[in-house]
Amino acid sequence: MTNILVSSKRKGLGKTTLIEKIIKNLKGDIIVIKSSIHDKYDGFKLIEEKEIIEEDNTDTSIFNKAGAQKVYYLKSNKESLKEGMKNSLNNIKDYDYLLVEGNSIIEFINFNLIFYLDKRGGDKKDSAEMCKNRADVIINRDKEQKIEFNLDKISCFKAHVLGNSLGIPLKKVGKMLNDEDIRVNDCQLGLF
């Protein structure tokens, strides 16, 4: 089970488009959680009703049409998020990949790979800085969606997940890492 977070500085940077691409690239059972965390919400709700998930022109319908096996819409205030996630995650099972869209949720799930979409200007969400600091990959929308690595070493497993998620051949992922002088460790074959 591999957990992937897609976060961003603010709305409108392409989180939905990136998750749609990742769903189409990955092979296996994929679950997606679209999160909306705001103090205006009363409590914690993990919505899975078909009529809400498949509502036209919503992120959840895009994820569903892209091929996710299950899509949830998470609405919560910050105060209820921790306990709600603790209780709800125990019920989400039997998946190969869990894709999560959002920022605040970073504190409650152990992610194997974190993408952060960035661009100059505009308002920044409070939780965005934490996501940017913990991100493995920053996709800079100011530089024609240039992939920037936010690490000095990467596990072989994480490099595979990165390549598979973005549809990048592993040889090219290796070249990208070499070009950035990022060391690969924990080889899945035990070679280095």
pLDDT tens digits, residue range 98-108? Answer: 999 998 888 88
Looking at the fold, whether 86 and 57 belong to one and the same domain comes out as yes
Looking at the fold, whether 139 and 162 belong to one and the same domain comes out as no
| 184, 155 Cβ separation under 8 angstroms | yes
Looking at the fold, whether 142 and 179 belong to one and the same domain comes out as no
Looking at the fold, whether 82 and 99 belong to one and the same domain comes out as yes
Q: What is the pLDDT of residues 144-172, one digit of tens each?
A: 658 888 888 888 899 999 999 999 998 99
Looking up tokens 């409070």 gives: 126
Q: What pLDDT score was predicted for residue 141?
A: 74
- Domain around 156: 152-192
| 174, 153 Cβ separation under 8 angstroms | no
Looking at the fold, whether 85 and 134 belong to one and the same domain comes out as yes
User: Average pLDDT of 19-30?
Assistant: 96
Looking at the fold, whether 107 and 30 belong to one and the same domain comes out as yes
- 16 contact partners, CB below 8 Å, separation of at least 6: 59, 62, 63, 101
Looking at the fold, whether 183 and 158 belong to one and the same domain comes out as yes
Looking at the fold, whether 18 and 44 belong to one and the same domain comes out as yes
The DSSP secondary structure of 54-111, one letter per residue, reads: T-TTSHHHHHHHHT-SEEEEEEE-HHHHHHHHHHHHTT--S-SEEEEE-SGGGGTS--
Looking at the fold, whether 179 and 109 belong to one and the same domain comes out as no
Q: Round to whole Å and give the CA distance between 137 and 154.
A: 11
Q: Is 74 left (phi over 0), alpha (psi -120 to 50) or beta?
A: beta
**Opening angle at CA 19, ends 16 and 22, nearest 5:** 155
The amino acid at residue 71 is V
| 151, 182 Cβ separation under 8 angstroms | yes
Looking at the fold, whether 23 and 117 belong to one and the same domain comes out as yes
Q: Residue 129 maps to which CATH number? A: 3.40.50
CA distances from 54 to 33, 51, 66 (A): 14, 5, 12
Looking at the fold, whether 144 and 184 belong to one and the same domain comes out as no
Looking at the fold, whether 116 and 185 belong to one and the same domain comes out as no
Q: How many CB atoms lie within 10 A of CB 53?
A: 21
Q: What is the pLDDT of residues 73-111, one digit of tens each?
A: 999 988 888 888 888 887 888 899 999 999 888 888 889
Q: Residue 182: pLDDT above 80?
A: yes
- Closest to 15 in 3D by CA, of 47, 63, 64, 52: 63
Question: Do β-strands 2-8 and 97-101 pair in parallel, antiparallel, or remain unpaired?
Answer: parallel
Q: Which residue has the higher pLDDT, 142 or 55?
A: 55
Q: What pLDDT score was predicted for residue 14?
A: 87
Q: How many domains does the chain have?
A: 2
Q: What pLDDT score was predicted for residue 70?
A: 95
